[in-house]
Structure 1
Amino acid sequence: MGSYLSLTTRLSLTFSIAMLAVWGLVSVVLMQSLEHHFARQDETDLQSKIVITKNFISTQLQHHDPSWSELETGLNKMLSGHGGYYLLIKDSQGRVLASTNATNGQQPGMSRAAPDETSLPLHESWTEDGIRYRSITEPVFLAPALAKPDAANPVWIRVALDTSYHQHFIDEIKTGLAWLTGGIALISVLLGWFASHSGLKPLRSLASLSSRVTANKLDHRLSLADAPSELHAPIQTFNDMLDRLENSFQRLTAFSSDIAHELRTPVNSLMMQTQVALAHPRESEDYREALYANLETAERLARMISEMLFLAKSEQGQLAMQLEPLMLADELDELIEFFEPLACEQAVRLQRQGNARLLADKSMLQRAFSNLLTNAIRYTPKQGEVHIAIASNHTGTTVEITNPGLNIPPEEWPRLFDRFYRADSARQPVTEGTGLGLAITKAIITAHDGTISVHSNEQETCFSVWFPHTDSR
């Protein structure tokens, strides 16, 4: 596998690249602004020199009729204090009439031809011998004496400027920007590392906490107070996961203890009955009675194991259901008929009202309501009545099984559906149940996307089962 950069390194590099990109954009804009500023300044200066030259020539022509050599001498004196400027005057045939600041008789751009009349004034920029020049060329119509032999043809005045001073200034700025860019790169890397290292501290705490979490230490939690808002969601999710794990381990521990307690009683009963039967020689009828007692205990063990396997499958989502349309009234009436002898024995009346259509697994649904009816009949006092109400609306179907009896405290309501749990106030001196009935009922209702809840007071206890409509599931 290839190596991967750490999250801190990635964030540091990303922060540095972003900083350098912003700084690079600012530098480009700054340099372009300087170039534009100096270009405008140079054009203004060149234009002013064109105007000065025109005024000088016009003034000289007003007083006398000078030659081009005299005008060149005067122009040299006029521009003597302006370093970096070059003046060149040509006629329409390209002959040099006058020039100033020439070196060895040459000026920058001397070889350039006279411009066309279609692009006036002509602004030029070029580099010669490593020096960048800017120039402006304009035509001037002079008096016939100076414009011989054709007074209608103009002379061309070109003023060029050596921009070395500006270029040196720009080069110094570029050098400074280069050093500053290096410094910013280093600072941005350090700041990016510090920011990412500090910002990712909760993640390191998360990793440290994860390493400390064991089956015996599930009470650790991360604090949201010192964490950035971006990490609140994953930290809260991690804490919620620990809550669920802690709750699951507590339930698993309690379940292990309960199952050991529940299995110990029938196993001890089997051992004791067998030891008693084998202690002394007995008649065959005595052995038969001992075997029947052992068979009854074994059947209870098999039923308990079967119910635990059913719960295990339901928790894994492996229940194989065969859904079919059912009329709840018919199914519950069938169960009422089945439980009628038990109800008569307990002097309890069973009553149903309402009806609804439901798509469900017939055998599982009957098993769930059988457990509820068994508990309702068992804990209803003599001459009491178990009431079954079916109601349906636009959200779903509700089945309520209500029976009078002892009050179950509200703090015990959620635990009634735990495996092997029995509310103390609801216990009878002798019970044949395994403590798994309500847990199985909840598993079946949940497999049908339904919910089950309980409400109890001094007068009655009501188990309410809700199923969503078929088209909404």
Structure 2
Amino acid sequence: MVDLNQRCPRARTFLRRSLPLKIALAISSITLLLITASFWMVIYLLGQDFNDLQPLLASNGGMVHIPAEDLHARGHAFALRSWRVFAITLGVGALAASLFAWCTARLILSSAHRLANTANRISAHALHERLAPENNIAELEPVARAFNHMLDRLQDSFTRLSGVSSDIAHDLRTPIHRLLMVAQVTLDRPRSAEEYRAVIESAVPAYERMGRMIENILFLARAESQQSAVHATFIPLEQRLGATAAFFELLAQERGLELALQVDQSAHVWADDTLLTRATGNLLTNAIRHAHPGSTVALSGSVASNGGCHISVSNEGEPIALQHQARIFERAYRVESQSNEEAPGVGLGLAIVKSTMELHGGLVYVRSAPGHPTVFTLWFPPPPPRAPRAGPSRGRISR
């Protein structure tokens, strides 16, 4: 009943603004008026002829002889008047139909012109402009709404791109200014070879960090334009996650953490080995960075009954607030914390994870609450029905 009540106003609005319905009703009304007017005029003419014949009829009801010439003349006059009435009626009807067609065309063109004028005002500086579906005919309403949805997506992408560009420029400006200042101070006076070597060695980490940032930006750009090819194969889950855990074990030990691995034996995942390694590596990097000293970081993997695969990375650290969980996978979005200040990143790691999962047609999500571990989960969809079995491939660890 509620659904019916919700649909009735929409139906009434559509019927009130539907142009084909208005045209059909107008044509029906014009046709009915023409037929009614024609019948009325014929009856009126017949009544006039009958009144003209009344004086010739005898009062006693007897037959009255009317000359043939008079009957022929009266029939000819009646036919002329009838044709004249029909011609006038059809002419008025044609004029009314033409006027209605002209008004209808103006109505259609006015709606189209309003849409065009609004679209012409939309630019990079006026992305907030939207078409007004309720001010147009009902048939153009879906077009206006679809155009508005497209503008919403463009505005969201433009806003995120502007924010990311600003964040990346800020992240690149700081190390470049630092390197430039060190170089200027070093070149201010002659120095020994050992001093020059020390300056170059101190600049290497900054160059590596900028190189990783540029590589990550290129990966995200290719992923969004679907230029990154996904070469998916069956990957032994225990072997791949074991190699990834072994790579990060030393980093975990340096921070006083224990790295635990829990993987179903004989489990396989249908994924690109390089992209899988990169995604799990980014999650482990974040988990180790934000985990409390002396806690455990767990890397686990399991296969569902339908062939899909779940890979989870959990750590015992500060929980992620609910307002941050919805945006944590956006580019250059970082949750400020003490661990971030100690080991700052560029805010692209989780965005790369999300893009990787989108390339695979999968999902990534996070669960975090006070008193519980923070868990990031990757879900890889089942393999295609005729996916060829492949041996284990060895991909490098990308961070």
Q: TM-score range by the shorter chain?
A: 0.7 to 0.9
Which 10-residue stretch deviates more, 185-194 or 349-358?
A: 349-358
TM-score (norm. length: structure 1): 0.64
1:379 and 2:363 correspond? no
Is residue 279 from structure 1 mapped to residue 188 from structure 2 by the alignment? yes
Distance in 1 separating the partners of 2:162 and 2:354: 20
TM-score by length of 2: 0.75
Where 1:433 maps in the other structure, the secondary structure is: coil
Q: 1:399 aligns with which of 311, 317, 328?
A: 311
Q: Which residue of structure 2 aligns with residue 449 of structure 1?
A: 361
Q: Which structure features the higher share of strand residues?
A: 1
Deviation at 1:200, TM superposition (A): 5.1
Aligned to 2:51: none
Q: 1:169: which partner in 2?
A: 78
2:264 equivalent to 1:354? yes
Superposition CA RMSD, Å: 3.4
Equivalent residue runs for 1:20-419 within 5 Å: 23=31, 81=65, 83-84=67-68, 168-198=77-107, 201-349=110-258, 350-354=260-264, 356-387=267-298, 388-394=300-306, 396-419=308-331
Deviation at 1:366, TM superposition (A): 0.5
Q: Offset at 1:419? A: 2.1
Give the distance between the partners of 2:242 and 2:72, measured in 1 at CA: 107
Map of 1:440 onto structure 2: 352
Tell me, in whole angstroms, the C-alpha distance in 2 between the residues paired with 1:357 and 1:170. Answer: 94
Cα distance, 1:229–1:400 mapped onto 2, change above 3 Å: farther
Change (3 A) 1:180 1:335: same
Q: Which amino acid aligns with 2:328?
A: L
Secondary structure of 1:470's counterpart equals coil
Residue 421 of structure 1, CA deviation? 1.8
Taking the aligned partners of 1:292 and 1:403, their CA distance within structure 2 comes to 34
Q: Is the 8 A contact 1:408 1:426 kept in 2?
A: no
Structure 1 CA distance for aligned equivalents of residues 283 and 384 of structure 2: 27
- CA gap 1:395/1:200 in 2 versus in 1, 3 angstroms: farther
Instruction: Classify 1:174/1:354 alpha carbon distance in 2 versus 1 (closer, same or farther; 3 Å).
Output: farther
> 2:6 aligns to what?
none
* Structure (1/2) with the larger helix percentage: 2
**Alignment check: 8 A CA contact 2:237 2:263 kept:** no
Residue of structure 1 in register with 2:12 after alignment: none
| Distance across 2 between alignment mates of 1:414 and 1:330 | 32
Aligned length: 340
Change (3 A) 1:275 1:180: same
User: Partner residue of 2:374?
Assistant: 461
- Tell me the SS of whatever aligns to 2:164: helix
Q: Shift in Å at residue 461 of structure 1?
A: 1.5
What is the CA–CA distance in structure 2 between the aligned matches of 1:397 and 1:164, rounded to whole Å?
Answer: 99
